[in-house]
Amino acid sequence: MPGTKRENIKPGVKVKVVQKQDQRSGKLTEGTVLKILTNSKTHPHGIKVMLEGGIVGRVKEILS
């Protein structure tokens, strides 16, 4: 499931995100959502979240 809709993402959900420094390479980082940082309902590049451990990135894929 793509991570462009805020309603699909909740704290505790496993996701794959792309960090700012990895946008060119497209490297994805897997983790669990700690909090949602994007306020709008949708975002074309993915909803920005903070993962447990402090990693910030845009959701590219929702795993569970």
**b/e string for 4-20 if b means 16 or more Cβ within 10 A?**
bebeebeeebebbbbee
Across 35-51, average pLDDT:
97
Q: Which DSSP state fits 11?
A: T
The pLDDT of residue 64 is 77
pTM: 0.92
- Structural domain boundaries in the chain: 6-59
CA atoms lying within 13 Å on the CB side of residue 47: 27
Q: Which DSSP state fits 6?
A: G
